[in-house]
Structure 1
């Protein structure tokens, strides 16, 4: 199969984050096994999703190419065509996941297929996870198996869309739920009761105050578009009826933090700002990524792959999980997250796929 045919097949699998992905995993597993890869599958706790680790050639070292199988939803978006049928539009290919990140996966699979004709000296490895788009929920079930299953790669390439510019940093993220408690009663006597929505509103004000503190006096990294750690309330719900004082409200919020900031310290500070009657629980998290390893050999390798200055990105990836294993890791992949990622009529330029194909071949030299 040629690269575009592989991408067309991948786009056709409706692997919405949080939903089953086994049809795609079955196909990729068979594809890699046909290319003589050794493939190990990892099931999600619910059993309806899976990821895989695969290896071909060599014993030690090599390169691990990391991707995720899921894509963001299309509901509520205005598409000009079926998001799950690859469309050609001049020099662009349109479809959900073309940029984030089935385009990269297609490039990896195309090269994996080509390797069948000649076994490489260094191992060629693939990691494919699930539910990255909802907080990197799949990779924690796989990460401890990477080295026992594949050995220790010399390099991990996480192929998130960077327009093929090497990225060596992103923030960590932790998601929380704040449960705000009040007392209920008839709204005609509202001042006699503690309104949980009012407590929630005060909590959001506290969140804003802490954000202002970090923006004005906190650590800053000017390589990021948003140079400081951020706090953001994304959802709030509560109340039963207009004439009842609500006794419970919930807020979902997140912290995206620089490596210099500890989210636990930020939560402690938030509790000092916030009113009483609030319980804060952590829902999910993924680590930040810092690929500046202060190693001249590493720096030389990075420059040989891309002479441009490495960037840092605002979005999260699975790179921190691999880096925390002690594996040298970088993020580099085709497509533009800003222009196409998560957007209606998501697409990718064929030139980006060609550049990615050349990059993969160069990395394997």
Structure 2
């Protein structure tokens, strides 16, 4: 077992494994503040003479961090990672999720794969970046709330775009086993609130059931997805190869024999690059206003449906002769075509006009799982890879 990090000393050199142990020890679930880990990272950078900038969340309880090592010139590399992790409650862990534990060539701990492993590699190699000397800069970007629809990154990327010379490439180090991922779906998250009118269930003709109308709207999601499935292009590289619509949470009702006055549910739409989740949102709104609400309001005018856009994550689109793709293919030797259906912060960087790919250590199959782990060999490969990139920036 590796000793957990219990303080914030940043005076000693740390290997990637030792750095990962320290990062894992911070329980940075998205429902909590990440300021402890951000302060540790800031102290680590300061101890090596690197200044960093914090971009705070609106409530001041969380922060993004970005820093530049090397000259303020164009053509540098951004190493991007997030600091938050998903909860461990309800999962059957056989190790302490907040203590990095080594077993059989693997390092177990929450966030070891997603994605503190990449963060640890970048931070552990800061002394080598400083020693350099770098002729083109390394920009480090660490965000909050990636696991909650990438809420933190937009403000950080906007601040970086205002203050930094344009980089040549952004490497978002999500776990891909160093496959160079050049595309992922765009998504929106929605909260639908249905307001009905409560009466005794024996006189449902006089009431408006929020639950039954919510069910109709949830079924619309599945009906549209079924249509997409039937029309899917089998050559589409995404899995699944069509836009998906999903309802993940639902609640409502007053009593078993009462027509419900309120119901709500969360849903998400994940669109392939040739489609827009906003277009699906427009279709959803039209179905509500033209089909569902008129029937509700004909009985009780005060009933209705409200849709709230909770979050929006832009997709990552494959670039034509992209600098980031070319760079990482050269260093990894990967020439395959890779896209993923989950979202990352890569689309946010790309939207800022920066060439971006997703490429990092670990297996996405471990993300969010009990006994999450990263293989030691993946860290070792990442250390070699980052050293090669740093070496090129010094040339």
For Structure 1 versus Structure 2, the TM-score category normalised by the shorter chain is: over 0.9
Q: Please give the secondary structure, in 2, of the residue aligned with 1:184.
A: coil
1:182–1:15 Cα change, 3 Å: same
The answer to whether the Cα contact below 8 Å between 1:181 and 1:199 also exists between their aligned partners in 2 is no
State the 1:221 CA deviation: 5.9
* Structure 1 gaps, min length 5: none
User: Which range is displaced more, 315-324 or 187-196?
Assistant: 187-196
How far apart are the structure 1 equivalents of 2:93 and 2:324? 43
Map of 2:21 onto structure 1? 8
How large is the Cα RMSD of the aligned pairs? 1.7
> What is the aligned counterpart of 1:357 among 377, 380, 383?
383
Map of 1:237 onto structure 2? 251
- How many residues of Structure 1 are paired with residues of Structure 2 in the alignment? 363
TM-score by length of 1: 0.95
The answer to whether the Cα contact below 8 Å between 2:168 and 2:323 also exists between their aligned partners in 1 is no
Map of 1:153 onto structure 2? 167
Alignment of 1:46-195 (within 5 A): 46-60=59-73, 61-195=75-209
Q: Please give the secondary structure, in 2, of the residue aligned with 1:348.
A: strand
The answer to whether the Cα contact below 8 Å between 1:53 and 1:150 also exists between their aligned partners in 2 is no
How far apart are the structure 2 equivalents of 1:223 and 1:255? 18
How far apart are the structure 2 equivalents of 1:198 and 1:176? 19
1:34 matched to 2:34? The reply is no
How far apart are the structure 1 equivalents of 2:110 and 2:322? 39
User: Which range is displaced more, 51-60 or 21-30?
Assistant: 51-60
* Structure 2 gaps, min length 5: 1-13, 294-303
How far apart are the structure 1 equivalents of 2:162 and 2:278? 31
| 1:204-249 deviation digits (Å, cap 9, x = unpaired) | 1222221122222366762111111110011111112223211111
The answer to whether the Cα contact below 8 Å between 1:210 and 1:273 also exists between their aligned partners in 2 is no
1:236–1:221 Cα change, 3 Å: farther
The answer to whether the Cα contact below 8 Å between 1:210 and 1:269 also exists between their aligned partners in 2 is no
State the 1:36 CA deviation: 1.9
Alignment of 1:143-292 (within 5 A): 143-217=157-231, 222-274=236-288, 275-276=292-293, 277-290=304-317, 292=318
The answer to whether the Cα contact below 8 Å between 2:187 and 2:315 also exists between their aligned partners in 1 is yes
State the 1:167 CA deviation: 0.6
User: Which range is displaced more, 139-148 or 96-105?
Assistant: 139-148
State the 1:254 CA deviation: 0.5
Q: Please give the secondary structure, in 1, of the residue aligned with 2:364.
A: coil
| 1:139-170 deviation digits (Å, cap 9, x = unpaired) | 12211111233321111100000011111010
Map of 1:330 onto structure 2? 357
User: Which range is displaced more, 150-159 or 294-303?
Assistant: 294-303
- Runs of 4+, deviation exceeding 6 Å: none
The answer to whether the Cα contact below 8 Å between 2:81 and 2:141 also exists between their aligned partners in 1 is yes
Map of 2:344 onto structure 1? 317
TM-score by length of 2: 0.88
1:344 matched to 2:370? The reply is yes
How far apart are the structure 1 equivalents of 2:256 and 2:87? 33
Q: Please give the secondary structure, in 2, of the residue aligned with 1:76.
A: coil
